[in-house]
Amino acid sequence: MENIKLKITNELKHFENTPQVNSRYNGEEKQKLAKAAKDFESLLTSMMIKSMTESTGGLFGSEGYGEDYFDTIFQNQLSAQMSNQRPVGIADMIYRKMTGESLKDLAPVEISPKFQAPKIKLENINEVQPSVGSLDRLKRYDKIIEQASQNFGIEKNLIKSVILAESAGNPKAFSKAKAKGLMQLIDSTASDMGVRNVWDPKENIQGGAKYLSKMFRQYDGKVELALAAYNAGPANVDKHKGIPPFDETKNYIARVMSYMKYLEKQDEQS
């Protein structure tokens, strides 16, 4: 069967004729509409890039093993960056038709901006020193962690301890459960937290801290339950009405708290 090609003389007429939606949206709904509009623009941009490079065999040429695979990855990343940094205007056009506003006017939505997790008590915790290599790697992300701490009300040393326990400071860590990056985010959690590139250290840390903040609020500021939910999922915490009876989860909580005790002591001595 031959491919059917559509000829559109006015590329914008479908958007121009889109009926105006008069209903008002709250901040969370606007964020979702904005994300959908940007994702559509990113997809369209990816298709444009693919179309423009077809004659040359793709971005990496037609020779060599696996080039189609790398082409797809690079096209998706490039289109996402273009949509974020230099949008072509389609996302804004869609968003305007839906809300009557511009994406430029969209205010960032924070998760409880005034939320501050309670100070964690470490008196009865035994400190454990992480490996020297993991501590060295962690230093690269001090500024990002500090910002995430301020954004989401989570102690910076707790964020650091979770990173040490999850990935030992390796931004390319990938688990059997398909958790990715410094704070080992699975795709669904990353998406829910607004993370577009899970391999970007800044986005990964912001997303992980944001999720930690959510778990703290969900479990009334109880650090053990928040960490249990981060490790085993809130469904298991709710099911067992507390810390799940999993050795992995119990050891995880103990390790994070022990790392935090060590980091707190180092701060006191510096």
Question: Are the beta carbons of 203 and 144 closer than 8 angstroms?
Answer: no
Question: Are the beta carbons of 227 and 254 closer than 8 angstroms?
Answer: no
Residue 63 annotated in active site: no
Q: Which amino acid is at 141?
A: Y
The string of DSSP codes covering 42-92 is: HHHHHHHHHHHHGGGTSTT-S-STTHHHHHHHHHHHHHHHHHHHS--SHHH
DSSP state of 242: S
- Distance (Å, rounded) from C-alpha 106 to C-alpha 30? 8
* Cα dihedral: 129, 182, 248, 186 (round 10): 170
The string of DSSP codes covering 140-191 is: TTHHHHHHHHHHHT--HHHHHHHHHHHHTT-TT-B-TT--BTTTTB-HHHHH
Q: Which amino acid is at 8?
A: I
CA 57 to chain centre: 33
Candidate list 11, 29, 63, 166, residue with the active-site label: 166
Tokens of 248: 């992995």
Q: Looking at the annotation, which residues are catalytic? A: 166
